[in-house]
Amino acid sequence: MLTVYVPKEKMPLVIGRVMDRARVFAPVKEGHAHRFRLVNQPHHVDLTYQNSRLSPKELMHPPAEAMFAYSLKKGDPKEGILEEIPKGLGPRVVWGIRPCDAKAFQLMDVNFMTREYVDPWWQKRRQSTVLVGLGCHEPCSTCFCTSVGTGPFDRSAVDVLMTDCGDGYLMESVTEAGEALLAHVPKAEAASENRVAQARAISEKAEKNLPRLFVPDPLQDKAMNELFQEAFWEEVQFACINCGTCTFLCPTCWCFDIQDEVHRDEGVRVRLWDSCMFPLFTLHGSGHNPRNQKLQRVRQRFMHKFKYYVDKYGNGPACVGCGRCVQYCPVNIDIRRVAGMMTASCVCPT
């Protein structure tokens, strides 16, 4: 495995060189927030960000994606035939992704690449994307990754891990894809032992600053019915306005809807993000809705994250502790507090 040191002033040069070989997506400042964008100019990349508002989930699972086109024209030989719309799935690098957001891709793999069905676009994007992680040396006050099995310098889902050492970045390859990428980094110095020791000290300090707030493990043994019937759901759901913000910002929420958009005799089949917080999400064609009450929808979101996912896939929970839902919920519903109630292990800040 390769370990190199890149002084900060050389980073645009390094990113530019990577751009010669692949499309690079990285955090770019837009107004008050950062978002992962296709990079046209290396100096647009801002690695001083804390967390992006929208997670980089949109790079693997776009909010709206045209899947197929078809014709409804009478007599057209292509009438009613679905033609795949090209997606541009060539080599990509996501530069500066937080370890928690990279971990979220792993958690979502189980949904898009099952034994029975493989989503070809998800699979191709995952296979053609190298993830260059950026360790979180100053986590937000809303972060709780260490409570859900990951961490600010977790290497388990990235190909390269970068540590901000003040005047430069220590870049360590984790996978073969990461090593191949670092082998072409220009102007990089081999990292000295001191630099490696400095990076270790930075990551240990960040982890210490993020104590575990709750322990999700007991939920594996807790009966589903017992949790389902808990009285606290009434209190948790009270303020929710079912806006869906928490699910759209969440790096591990994957729900989508498929709709046909038809203009005259041309049709496009589109996949769009959807949310279990919306009443229409579970409305059946018959008119029956198994989750027509707010309490049922709010409970579903937390139960899926901490109970159903874990029971079904044997890992998880389906939350990486990024804190976006805590930061942006308009009525301050705090998943850390809810997880504390569910696990009866609350050491929560609120």
Residue 220 Cβ vs ligand SF4, minimum distance, rounded to whole Å:
18
Return the number of the residue (155 or 304) whose C-beta is nearest ligand SF4: 304
Helix orientation angle between 294-303 and 335-343, rounded to the nearest 10 degrees: 80
| Residue 79: closest CA among 69, 94, 65, 66 | 69
- Look at strands 256-263 and 189-190 and give their pairing: unpaired
DSSP class of residue 280? G
Return the number of the residue (51 or 173) whose C-beta is nearest ligand SF4: 51
Return the number of the residue (189 or 234) whose C-beta is nearest ligand SF4: 234
Q: What is the DSSP string of 215-266?
A: --GGGGTS-HHHHHT-THHHHHHTT-----HHHHH-TT---EEEEEEEETTE
Return the number of the residue (39 or 236) whose C-beta is nearest ligand SF4: 236
Which residues are at the interface with ligand SF4 (CB under 6 A)? 240-246, 249-252, 277, 305, 319-325, 329-331, 333, 335
What are phi and psi for residue 9, nearest 5 degrees?
Answer: -70, -15
Residue 137 Cβ vs ligand SF4, minimum distance, rounded to whole Å:
19
Return the number of the residue (213 or 320) whose C-beta is nearest ligand SF4: 320
- Secondary structure of residue 65 in the 3-state scheme: strand
CB 181 within 8 A of CB 13: no
Return the number of the residue (3 or 245) whose C-beta is nearest ligand SF4: 245
Residue 145 Cβ vs ligand SF4, minimum distance, rounded to whole Å:
9
Residue 296 Cβ vs ligand SF4, minimum distance, rounded to whole Å:
13
CB 247 within 8 A of CB 298: no
Cα–Cα dist 94/57, whole Å? 11
Residue 38 Cβ vs ligand SF4, minimum distance, rounded to whole Å:
24
CB 317 within 8 A of CB 306: yes
Residue 111 Cβ vs ligand SF4, minimum distance, rounded to whole Å:
14
